[in-house]
Structure 1
Amino acid sequence: MKTQMLLAAEGGGHNPIIPEPVEIVVGLVAFLLLLFVLWKYAVPRFEKVYEERSKRIEGGIEKAEAAQAEAQRTLEQYKSQLAEARAEAARIRDDARAEGQQIVEEMRAQAQAESERIVSAGQSALAAQRAQIVAELRADLGRQAVDLASRVVGESLEDEARRRGTVDRFLDELEATAAPASKA
């Protein structure tokens, strides 16, 4: 402190806190020059970088929104395809059930036809066997009737035409008497 007091007493009026007017003017000119250089060169570059960055961010946002819209369209398309696939699967299932039912009905009809054919063939075979047995029984009954009639009458019924006529008459009479009995 003593040195400051000594300097103040010697110089006589210069305050170190207040700068000289020349220094103020030089400082002001330097500040204005610095401000001009910054305003002319640095600020436009900052603005340009800021604008580019803003455009990139906006472009990124737009791309993200476009990607989100595309994802939403893809999701909707997927959902519609899934719904179509489910409907197609249900239709295929229904078609398969109907086709299965039709096959069952066809197989049932074929089995019924086969059953009727077998029954018809059996009935035909039975009728043929019956006719054969009736013919054999007629022939056998005719021979026995002729033999019996020959013994009873005492004459020989050897003549074929006569014997056949007699046998046929006898069987017709026998059938005629058996028919009313079987109807009652």
Structure 2
Amino acid sequence: MPSIILAAAEEGGSEEKNNFLVPNATFLFELVSFAIILFVLWKWILPPINNAMTERQNKIKAQFEEAEKLKAEAQAAEAENQSQLAEARAEASRIREEAREQGAQIVAQHREQAVVEAERITSAAQAQIEVERAQALAQLKNEVGTIATTLAGRIVGESFDDDERSKRSVDEFIAGLESAPKSEA
């Protein structure tokens, strides 16, 4: 059956010869439909699309400009932060140097006070030693005098109970010893 339909189509088409230069009704209908669709697209669809595209391009341009502006502000803020950081570091360095100087002054003052205190303590100790030496010497004189009078009384066989006479004898003896030239040992 398909061969019969194909043969009938060839027979019917051979009676009428189509001229390709003369347009047929389908072609004219398609051409008019295309023109109407093109007009509708051109008049009502393309302008909103173009407007949307233009608006989008403007928004993108504005966003780029905003981004550039923010980038410049960020760079300026960073530069300001860097300068403030440098100033803070310089200030910290200056404060550390002042603290070192003050520390050195405090150490020098305390050292000076320690030297003065040491000298005061040394002189007080020397005065105390002199006082104790004088007391020990006086006590020693009394004890030596008592021992000497007791010993002299035993040797002589006489009692030197008279304190005034024995004290005078001891003092004269000690004065004689102090005035005598000291021999080098």
Taking structure 2 as the reference length, the TM-score comes to 0.59
1 CA distance for matches of 2:85 and 2:56? 42
2 CA distance for matches of 1:67 and 1:115? 69
Q: Could you tell me how far 1:122 is from its partner in structure 2?
A: 2.1
2 CA distance for matches of 1:109 and 1:56? 77
Q: 1:18 matched to which residue of 2?
A: 22
Q: 1:11 matched to which residue of 2?
A: none
2 CA distance for matches of 1:4 and 1:141? 174
2 CA distance for matches of 1:69 and 1:141? 104
Unaligned runs of 5+ in 2: 1-9, 149-161, 165-169
Q: 2:56 matched to which residue of 1?
A: 53
Counterpart of 1:100 in structure 2: which amino acid? G
Q: 1:66 matched to which residue of 2?
A: 69
2 CA distance for matches of 1:27 and 1:141? 158
1 CA distance for matches of 2:58 and 2:107? 71
Q: Per the alignment, do residues 88 and 76 of structure 1 end up closer, same or farther by CA in structure 2, a change over 3 Å counting?
A: same
What is the SS of the residue equivalent to 1:103?
Answer: helix
Taking structure 1 as the reference length, the TM-score comes to 0.60
Q: 2:151 matched to which residue of 1?
A: none
Give 1:73-152 correspondences, 5 Å limit: 73-129=76-132, 132=135
1:6 and 2:20 aligned: no
Q: Per the alignment, do residues 173 and 15 of structure 1 end up closer, same or farther by CA in structure 2, a change over 3 Å counting?
A: same
Deviations 1:149-181 (A, max 9, x none): xxxxxxxxx9x8xxxxxx999999998886xx8
Q: Could you tell me how far 1:70 is from its partner in structure 2?
A: 2.1
Deviations 1:126-155 (A, max 9, x none): 3434555676788899999xxxxxxxxxxx
Q: Aligned-residue CA RMSD in angstroms?
A: 4.5
1 CA distance for matches of 2:76 and 2:97? 31
Identity %: 40
Counterpart of 1:18 in structure 2: which amino acid? V
1 CA distance for matches of 2:16 and 2:110? 132
1:43 and 2:46 aligned: yes
Counterpart of 1:15 in structure 2: which amino acid? N
Q: Could you tell me how far 1:101 is from its partner in structure 2?
A: 1.2
What is the SS of the residue equivalent to 1:19?
Answer: coil
2 CA distance for matches of 1:30 and 1:73? 59
2 CA distance for matches of 1:169 and 1:7? 183
